[in-house]
Amino acid sequence: MNQGTSTNFWSPGNDGVRVTVVDAQSGAAVSTPVDFANRSQSSAMLHFGKVNKIQYRDGASLSLQSGVPYNCRQPAYSMPAIITSNSRPATIEAIKRYFCSEYACMMVADAAGVSYERMLSGEYKILLEPIAYVTFNGAKYAFTATEAALYDQLSGGSLRSKLPSVAFQNLPLALFLEYSDLGFPAWGGSRRGIQSNADIINALGVGIVWFEETEEPGGEIEAPDVEYRVDTDVITAIRLQTNGRLTPDNPATVTFHIMGRSYTVRNIVIPAHDSQLVWVKWHTPPAPQTITITVTLSSGFTAQDTFVAKIVDLNEKIPPDPLATDINPGYSVPALPVNPQKLSAGWGVWSCHWVPNWQWHSHGCSSSCSDDCSGGHGEWVDEGDWEYDYTSYSASISGTMTLMPDDIVPTANGKDMKSGYGVKTEVRATLSTNSPDGHHSNPQTAFSVFPEFQYNTYLRLLQRVSSGRSAKFAFQPNEFSTYGRTVHFTPVWFPDSTSYVVYTQVWDAWTPDGMLSVNLNDYITIHQSVFDDWYTNRE
Residue 495 pLDDT > 80, yes or no? yes
Report pLDDT for 15.
92
Report pLDDT for 388.
96
Residue 84 pLDDT > 80, yes or no? no
Residue 119 pLDDT > 60, yes or no? yes
Residue type at position 132: A
Question: What pTM does this model have?
Answer: 0.65
Which domains, ranges and CATH numbers included, belong to the chain?
9-209 (no CATH), 226-312 (2.60.40.10), 395-533 (2.60.40)
State pLDDT tens for residues 218-231: 333 346 789 999 99
Report pLDDT for 92.
75
State pLDDT tens for residues 435-450: 999 999 999 999 999 9
Least confident of 9-23, 90-104, 291-305, 318-332: 90-104
State pLDDT tens for residues 158-192: 999 999 989 999 999 999 998 899 999 999 888 88
Q: What mean pLDDT do residues 488-505 have?
A: 96
Share of the chain above pLDDT 90, in %: 67
The better pLDDT of the pair 142, 79 is held by 142
Report pLDDT for 210.
87
How many residues comprise the chain? 539
Residues 485-518 as b or e (16 or more Cβ within 10 Å = b): bbbbbbbbbbeeeeebbbbbbbbbbbbbbebbbb
Residue 172 φ then ψ, to 5°: -70, -30
Report pLDDT for 90.
53
Give the DSSP H or E segment for 395.
Answer: strand 385-405
Q: What mean pLDDT do residues 61-82 have?
A: 88
Q: What mean pLDDT do residues 412-441 have?
A: 96
Q: Considering only CA atoms, which of 142, 120, 153 is closest in space to residue 64?
A: 142
Separation between Cα atoms, residue 404 and residue 406, nearest integer Å: 6
